[in-house]
Amino acid sequence: MSRKRILSGMRPSGKLHIGHLFGALNNWVKLQDEYDCFYMVADWHALTTDYAETGSIALNSREMVIDWLTVGIDPKKSVIFRQSDVVEHAELFLLLSMITPLGWLFRCPTYKEQLQEVTSKDLQTFGFLGYPVLQAADIMLYQATVVPVGEDQLPHLELTREICRRFNNLYGEIFPEPQGLLTPAARVPGIDARKMSKSYNNAIALDEEPAEIKKKVQQMFTDPLKLRAKDPGHPDGCVVYAFHVLYNPGASVRKEECAQGAIGCVACKAQVVEFVEAGIAPLREKRRVVSRQTGMIDDILNDGKIRARAVAEQTMQTVRGAIKLSHE
Ligand code: TRP
């Protein structure tokens, strides 16, 4: 019996942090046992915003693969590949661009938001507008039926489904409609309580050093109403408590202790330092080992390219046939 196929991807935007771990990667690791997984380094997607400074994309791509291997993405179970290694993404993207109405793209909430938010780059480009079309091509190329994504990506997935239906209406039933699989994501706040993100400078890296962990936990925002250790606290909005939930199996006990004023923030933070360190230490060690094996990383990416292209090429043969540009 063949298993359902998954495709998911991430843009290589630098070292990953524990927001990625709890928000996506832990889930990716689990899915490997149930699905045929294709995990893609979306380096062409990185170009849609970073076209003017491409210098770090290659390195970031490798670093991201190292992070994936560190957390347990297994090249024996899953296909790990770089988008730009599979040129069929570009071909399908081009064909899909012919049938995608501009209105769908201009209406896309992520497009509108990013145009407003990102002021340091000129995003008035065709490529940036077409971001979701490229993403649709990624998914459709592997005829993936399941796409694990975070909530922020749901509009893109909906667009993929629309593009898919339109293609099938025009050229025949070729593509299955993919379903989004919402990651049961733990919310990971950054040390300043905003969403953890590299660009906010509030993240804890997957392999953060012990001294940095300590420093960052000490900077974490706590309940502003809990001034003295014995004041009752409000764990629900507290970053330190959120980290207890992620790392401390006894988090519910802590919640009560905090609410009753039975523990102060200083002691509570000191424990978080220990829990986070215990969680990160094995990753730090593993990452060190993996990152030294440069030949192995090359081999994994090469193998991924071959396996991904085999599927992609098959899809494209069907697609080319359906579009009928040639006569065979
Ligand atoms: N857009 C996704 C992100 O920013 C990355 C991505 C590219 C992706 N292609 C994909 C995710 C295909 C899922 C499926 O995180």
pLDDT digits (tens, 9 = 90+) for 57-83: 999 999 999 999 999 999 999 999 999
The ligand 1 atom at the shortest distance from the C-alpha of residue 148 is 13
Q: Is the CB of 138 under 6 A from ligand 1?
A: yes
Identify whether 68 is part of a domain: yes
Q: Tens digits of per-residue pLDDT, 126-158?
A: 999 999 999 999 999 999 999 999 888 999 999
Number of domains composing the chain:
2
Please identify which residue in the block is written with the tokens 């069907």.
Answer: 318
163 and 266 both lie in a single domain: no
Tell me the two tokens of residue 252: 């519910």
Q: Within 13 Å of residue 190, how many CA atoms lie on the same side as its CB?
A: 13
* Per-residue pLDDT, 185: 67
User: What's the 210 CA to ligand 1 centre distance in angstroms?
Assistant: 32
* pLDDT confidence of residue 326: 87
The residue whose C-alpha atom lies closest to atom 2 belonging to ligand 1 is 10
Of all protein residues, whose CA lies closest to atom 5 belonging to ligand 1?
A: 10
Candidates 32, 31, 39; CA nearest to 9 is 39
Evaluate the CA torsion angle 143, 146, 150, 155 in order and state its sign.
positive
What is the structure's pLDDT at 328?
62
The answer to whether residue 197 sits within a structural domain is: no
Question: What pLDDT is attached to residue 151?
Answer: 86
The predicted structure's pLDDT at residue 218:
95
Is residue 9 lining ligand 1, measured as CB closer than 6 Å?
yes
Q: Is the CB of 135 under 6 A from ligand 1?
A: yes
Give the count of beta carbons closer than 10 Å to the beta carbon of residue 76. Answer: 7
Q: Mind listing the pLDDT tens digit for each residue in 84-96?
A: 999 999 999 999 9
Q: How far is the CA of 302 from the centre of ligand 1 (A)?
A: 21
Are 257 and 168 in a shared domain?
A: no
Residue type for position 203: A
Contact 18, 58 (CB under 8 A): no
Decide whether any atom of ligand 1 lies within 6 Å of the 146 Cβ. Answer: no
CB 308 within 8 A of CB 137: no
Return the CATH number at 213. 1.10.240.10
At residue 159, the pLDDT reads 97
Domain with 265 in it:
207-288
- Reading the block at residue 113, the tokens are 């938001």
DSSP secondary structure letters along 3-72: PPEEEEEE---SS-BHHHIIIIIHHHHHHTTTSEEEEEE-HHHHHHHHTT--TTHHHHHHHHHHHHHHHT
The answer to which of 109-113, 276-280, 286-290 has the lowest mean pLDDT is 109-113
Please indicate whether residue 149, judged by its CB atom, sits closer than 6 Å to ligand 1.
Answer: yes
* Whether 260 and 117 share a structural domain: no
Atom of ligand 1 nearest to the CA of 134: 9
The CATH number given to whatever domain includes residue 168 is 3.40.50.620
pTM for this model (two decimals): 0.95
- 135 neighbors 45 (Cβ within 8 angstroms): yes
> Residue 201 domain-assigned?
no
- The model's pLDDT over 253-281, given as tens digits with 9 standing for 90+, comes to 999 999 999 999 999 999 999 999 999 99
Asked if residues 93 and 133 have their Cβ atoms less than 8 Å apart, the reply is: yes
pLDDT > 90? residue 283: yes
Residue 184 has pLDDT above 80, yes or no: no
When pLDDT is averaged across residues 187-213 and rounded to a whole number, the result is: 93
